[in-house]
Amino acid sequence: MSGLLAGKRLLVTGVITDASIAFSVAKLAQENGAQVVLTGYGRLSLVERIAKRLPEPAPVIELDVTNAEHLAGLADKVREHVDGLDGVVHSIGFAPQSCLGGGFLDAPWSDVATALQVSTYSYTSLAMASLPLMSPGGAVVGLTFDATKAWPVYDWMGVAKAGLESASRYLALHLGKQGIRSNLVAAGPLRTIAAKSIPGFDQFEDAWTQRAPLGWNLTDQEPAARACLALLSDWFPATTGEIVHVDGGYHAIGA
């Protein structure tokens, strides 16, 4: 089998609909020679149905990243389908409504803690749960939204993404001696399920479509997915702790 990821075994989280970045990653990965295992949380039957839309139907493992038992058993569950992993894709994020849409000053710690556990800490916990299956040359890739700025309505999710970006750098530091890379892709705004949960998300849409130097397609997940595939491949063997922007160039221009 030929392709950028020929022979690679990947674990992809966060496939909810075929409009998700994770679905595009899984689809392109298969088309480029990879074996893919998916994880799902909650409505597993929905994820299993979406998995059948891939070029090759992929197995789905239940994974709640806040559940210690699920994390402890992840490696054994994955071994039922593949004998190891060459890459892990973290596409997981959640914040209660109080943490978004202008509620930054009023969100209670219990809700903020949930956002940080699911959106930030899970990057490291997922990597560590997958580590027994990985060997030198492996890669962990996550998805962020540029956390160098304070965005209107993004609030505590922006803080969670800042933590994610820092966590990726620390993961790069601590897993580097084992030959495992950690990198993130900072995608521009896309009309995914996650985006629809953010009140006032249209502010992002208007800004990007009008000002991104290369233009920006709000419904095209493939550019971000392609960047994920590149970072999972053998073409970036000495790159870790990096954030690759896939946002039409918006991050590079002044306000």
Q: List all residues 6 or more positions away from 127 whose beta carbon is below 8 Å from its beta carbon.
A: 88, 90, 140, 171, 175, 182
Tell me if residue 5 falls in helix, strand or coil.
coil
67 and 39 Cβ atoms separated by less than 8 Å: no
Radius of gyration of the chain (CA): 17
Could you confirm whether 8 is annotated as catalytic? no
Q: At what angle do helices 122-130 and 68-79 cross, to 10 degrees?
A: 40
Given the residues 121, 161, 170, 250, the one annotated as active site: 161
Q: Evaluate the CA torsion angle 213, 218, 220, 223 in order and state its sign.
A: positive
Could you confirm whether 123 is annotated as catalytic? no
The dihedrals phi and psi of 91, each to the nearest 5 degrees, come to -130, 60
Given the residues 27, 41, 123, 154, the one annotated as active site: 154
Which residues in 108-193 belong to E strands, given as ranges?
A: 134-144, 181-187
Q: Tell me which residue has tokens 């990821």.
A: 5
Q: How far apart are CA 215 and CA 217, in angstroms?
A: 7
Q: How far apart are CA 125 and CA 243, in angstroms?
A: 20
What is the number of other CB atoms lying within 10 angstroms of the CB of residue 78? 24
Helix, strand, coil share (%) of the chain residues, nearest 5 = 45, 15, 40
Q: Which residues are catalytic?
A: 154, 161
